[in-house]
Amino acid sequence: MEENLLIEKASKGNEEAFRQLYEKYKRSLFIVCLRYANGRVEAEDFLQEAFINIYKGLKQFDPSRGIFEFWARRITINVCLEKIRKQSLFTVSLGGHDTEEVSPDALSDLSLKELLELVNELPFGYKTVFNMYVIDGYSHKEIASHLNISVNTSKTQLMKDGQNLKSAFIKKNNVVKVSHG
């Protein structure tokens, strides 16, 4: 069945139409939830809440103004951020880190899967800012607003994300420190 027809039927209470939308998008939206959650169980909770909000908001979705998948993804991200705020899971770490340099070739050889594994090993606050800025395209101002932090804190967290990713990469791959000069 055509997606717009499914959306229209689901918005009028047709459970089968909504189930078909759920089946079509559950995997991609679950991946979004996994990036923000502290584990699979929490990601499943985020996803369930996201689909409740998607169902409640279906009447407001206008196919002429956007793509359903992007609309549903934005709702899912907002649910994740709301849960993070309510649980006070986001903490800011301003402690120093040892910085080690890694050959750019070693970093460019990372697969997407390996990068996401490294991102998931970041402390929760770093991971959240990284996901919002790098993957989901939020500005530092938007991140600050969603997480109730300053713009400078968002920028600092992102800078430290890079340092943390390098350190995690070094530890995971036994990379030897590269010296310049």
8 A C-beta contact, residue 18 and residue 10 = yes
The band of 119, judged by pLDDT with boundaries at 50, 70 and 90, is confident
Q: Which of 25, 69, 66 is nearest to 47 (CA)?
A: 25
Residues 35-87 have pLDDT tens digits of 898 889 999 999 999 999 999 999 999 988 899 999 999 999 999 999 888 77
In a domain, 92, yes or no: no
How does the average pLDDT of the chain come out, rounded?
80
Domain at 117, CATH number: 1.10.10.10
Query: Of residues 151 and 110, which shows the higher confidence score?
Result: 151
Domain at 57, CATH number: 1.10.1740.10
Query: Of residues 114 and 127, which shows the higher confidence score?
Result: 127
Question: Both tokens of residue 173?
Answer: 């791959």
In a domain, 108, yes or no: yes
pLDDT at 104 over 70: no
pLDDT of residue 174: 59
What is the DSSP-derived secondary structure letter of residue 133? Answer: I
The band of 105, judged by pLDDT with boundaries at 50, 70 and 90, is very low
pLDDT of residue 88: 61
Separation between Cα atoms, residue 33 and residue 127, nearest integer Å: 12
pLDDT at 17 over 80: yes
Length of the chain equals: 181
Separation between Cα atoms, residue 8 and residue 18, nearest integer Å: 10
Residues 155-180 have pLDDT tens digits of 888 887 677 776 766 666 655 444 44
The number of folded domains in the chain is 2
Could you list the residue range(s) of the whole structural domain that residue 28 is in?
A: 3-86
pLDDT of residue 118: 74
CB count within 10 Å of CB 55 equals 16
In a domain, 96, yes or no: no
Last residue of a domain, one of 39, 60, 86: 86
